[in-house]
Structure 1
Amino acid sequence: MKILITTDWYKPVVNGVVTSVINLKTELEKAGHEVRVLTLSPDGRQHFADDTYYLKSFKVKIYPQARATYNFHSRFLPEIMQWRPDIIHSQCEWISFYFAKYISLKLNIPIVHTYHTIYEDYTHYILRSKRLSKSIVLFGSNRAINATDYVITPTNKARRLLLSYGIENPIITIPTGIDLDKYRKRISEVRRQELLSSYGISEDKTVLVSIGRLALEKNIDELLDNMRLLVQSHPEIVLLIVGGGPYADELRAKVIRMNLQSNIIFTGMISPDLVPEYFQLGKLFVCASQSEAQGLTYIEALASGVPLLCKYDQCLENVLVEGYNGFSFDNSREFIDKLLEILKNPEQYALLCKNAEASSDNFSKEAFANHVIKVYEAALNTFPGHRSLPVRLIPMLRKRTQESNLYYN
């Protein structure tokens, strides 16, 4: 197949959408498919490189690193038409989707769409009026999704949300896969201590790690509040916060106000190549976000052999198995109690680590791409036509649902 992937975000930007697209493209090409990407240029300059069309673009203040374009008649469009993709896989509902729909109509080919972002949790970036912002994002995203042929969601949480919006297109849940080998490579204890000491963390400290973008919707404030209570009785515990983002300054200021600079340490942005090492700096991966549509960092932590201690959220279904590869919490008391219970039992902790790595087997990028290809085949076999699953395909999808917890309908 010739597959065109459209996305508002692509490398060198680092986020879950970009990771998903990179892994999918790599595996599709390994399977013998021809893949090109259409995206917005991060530097504004239109060019073609590495099978990627970068459109002219400009910065917009709606969201950090967000871009838009006025170049709706790009010279690349005739080139793409001449290349003639068999199918389009759109990854965003906004700027790049315009091109996806235009190309789809011109070439009469189907669009498969992945719903990555729960926009209700991001409305504070648009307008002060949360109600108006929500109305805008729901109208825009729903209009795009309804204009596609098949929809992929990374979790059942996202699938249920789309169903509640009244989306009638076929919706398939396929968890985003990651490069397991990248995270399973273990660092030496010497390297671990070297990294910790670079942040002033001594060997006698117990380290919790949080990795991700520092943004309001990630609810990192709750982790800070939990740490304020925890260190009153356990000052040896340190929270290492890895990453950067638009809310970083507010979080740093809060830590100073709480006088917890020695217990809560920020690394700032780090190289993506070093992220697998930073997961291994913590005894546990902690997170309080409830805005995740897929939560790749949960899976990356598990692949790194690091158990989870996360605030309960529906996206953790089939990822966090309570007492097997980690624990969930609903409030600060549960966070502290479960954390201390884990730390005081070395044998249980060792088993959690072993189970964490084993449970990540279900989330390989190879399995992810294989399931996406099946959706492409279904879309091509039923196009043009109907916005519901053909009767002859329902048994096939149900069978796969029973055979693998990676593929649902």
Structure 2
Amino acid sequence: MKILITSEWYSPVINGVVTSIINLKKELQHLGHDVRILTLSNQKKSFRQNEVTYISSLGIGKIYPGARITLSTNDKYLDELIAWQPDVIHTQCEFSTFRLAKYIAKHCGAPIIHTYHTVYEDYTHYFSPNRKWGKAMVAVFTKKVLKHATYVIAPTDKVQSLLKGYGVTQEISVIPTGIYLHQFTKKIQNRTKQQLRQQLGLSPNQRLLLFVGRLAKEKNLEEIIRYFARLNRQNLVLLIVGGGPHRHSLENYANKKNISDRVIFTGMVSPERIATYYQIGDAFVSASNSETQGLTYIEALASGLPAICREDPCLDNVIVNERNGWQYSSYEDFKEKLQWLISDKEVWQQFSKNAVESAVRNFSSTAFAQNIESIYFQAIKEHPKNHDSLPNFNQSSLNS
């Protein structure tokens, strides 16, 4: 099967959407499919690099940091993709690349499958002065975009319910995003972990709370910093891994709380090194309610790191209370659970073991790709275009 995946973001950008696409591409290729990527170039020219087509674009960072847009469909690289004749187009974003996907689908007759990654109503502060108006705009926009998709994929029940509330009438399948887990489940050598702790200036007796993710307002990191300050435990350090537009504000906030000596901002860390950061931690922490699933939560669990995170429906099948961590609802709740976790070695070890087991059982990239593949075949089967090659290239032959 020829599969075109489209996204505003792709490598070398590091975020949850890109991680999901990279893992999906790799697993679909293992299943025998021909997979190509269509994304936006970070410059005013288009080019192709191996299986990835980059379309020229312009930066619109004033709307959202790092955002880009393209307007023209008059591009030889788009013509190449049309000539390639994809059997299915899997869109991952709702803006420029979705419009390009529609253009390609119109010319080659392929169905569009769309994964809804982002809860935009949590990002209304970027484009609307009024949250209520912003949510209404998101609902109208989302419904208008998704009417062009044959199937919609939601990573959690939370997102499925949200889309139904917007009035989306397309069939919505809930498929948790899968992760290539080996790099996280593989045990890092103690020497490597000790070297990282030394580089970060950590003493042997200091315990470590870890956040990994984009530093943006919607991540609600102020709450974690505020709670951390209230704990007032001198042997506890908060390590914030990632970059983003809100970093300077967070650094100022930590300084205001007089804890800047115990809060470490690392900036961006390469994917090849991130597993070591997880494995030196004592607990993964997050206060975000803007996640559709939260891939860093799963990475943390796969690394054996128990999680203590703000209660959120998207985490109901990810963080299981009293098994691999807790979902907290208040400072008192956060303090109590953290104290129990880091003060009892046996509890921590059991939670760590449970964390790895739950991640491997529920979020492997192989199972994710197989579930996505079944949606592709169903969409092709129901689409008006006649796929003469499909009877000789089906799921049973691939999985036999």
3-state DSSP of counterpart to 1:25: helix
Q: Tell me the equivalent position of 2:56.
A: 56
Q: Tell me the equivalent position of 2:249.
A: 250
The CA RMSD over aligned residues, in Å, is 1.3
- Kept in 2, the 8 Å contact 1:94–1:140? The answer is no
- Kept in 2, the 8 Å contact 1:117–1:292? The answer is yes
- Kept in 2, the 8 Å contact 1:214–1:248? The answer is yes
1:294 partnered with 2:317: no
1:279 partnered with 2:278: yes
- Kept in 1, the 8 Å contact 2:140–2:166? The answer is no
Q: Tell me the equivalent position of 2:38.
A: 38
Report deviation, 1:239: 0.8
Separation in structure 2 between the aligned mates of residue 209 and residue 313 of structure 1, nearest angstrom: 19
Q: Tell me the equivalent position of 1:398.
A: none
Separation in structure 2 between the aligned mates of residue 29 and residue 174 of structure 1, nearest angstrom: 19
3-state DSSP of counterpart to 2:227: helix
1:214-225 to 2 correspondences below 5 Å = 214-225=215-226
Separation in structure 2 between the aligned mates of residue 77 and residue 229 of structure 1, nearest angstrom: 55
Report deviation, 1:311: 0.8
3-state DSSP of counterpart to 1:14: coil
Separation in structure 2 between the aligned mates of residue 325 and residue 133 of structure 1, nearest angstrom: 36
Report deviation, 1:193: 2.2
Separation in structure 1 between the aligned mates of residue 350 and residue 370 of structure 2, nearest angstrom: 31
Report deviation, 1:127: 3.4
Report deviation, 1:190: 2.3
5+ residue gaps, structure 2: 386-400
Separation in structure 2 between the aligned mates of residue 214 and residue 175 of structure 1, nearest angstrom: 24
Q: Tell me the equivalent position of 2:168.
A: 167
TM superposition score normalised by structure 1: 0.91
1:213 partnered with 2:214: yes
Tell me which amino acid in the other structure corresponds to 1:6. Answer: T
1:85-234 to 2 correspondences below 5 Å = 85-231=86-232, 234=233
3-state DSSP of counterpart to 1:17: helix
Tell me which amino acid in the other structure corresponds to 1:171. Answer: I
Q: Tell me the equivalent position of 1:375.
A: 375
Separation in structure 1 between the aligned mates of residue 311 and residue 281 of structure 2, nearest angstrom: 20
1:180-226 residue CA offsets vs partner (Å, 9 max, x unmatched): 10111222222222212222211111111111111100010000110
3-state DSSP of counterpart to 1:85: coil
Q: Tell me the equivalent position of 1:312.
A: 311
Report deviation, 1:140: 2.3
3-state DSSP of counterpart to 1:285: strand
Report deviation, 1:50: 1.8
1:341-396 residue CA offsets vs partner (Å, 9 max, x unmatched): 112221111100011101111211111100000000111111139xxxxxxxxxxx
- Kept in 1, the 8 Å contact 2:71–2:96? The answer is no
3-state DSSP of counterpart to 2:339: helix
Report deviation, 1:272: 2.0
Separation in structure 2 between the aligned mates of residue 175 and residue 301 of structure 1, nearest angstrom: 16
Separation in structure 2 between the aligned mates of residue 125 and residue 371 of structure 1, nearest angstrom: 34
Q: Tell me the equivalent position of 1:336.
A: 335
3-state DSSP of counterpart to 1:64: coil
- Moved runs in structure 1, 4+ residues, more than 4 A? none
Report deviation, 1:281: 1.7
Report deviation, 1:78: 2.0
- Kept in 2, the 8 Å contact 1:6–1:100? The answer is yes
Tell me which amino acid in the other structure corresponds to 1:15. Answer: N
Separation in structure 2 between the aligned mates of residue 196 and residue 33 of structure 1, nearest angstrom: 42
TM superposition score normalised by structure 2: 0.93
Separation in structure 1 between the aligned mates of residue 8 and residue 176 of structure 2, nearest angstrom: 20
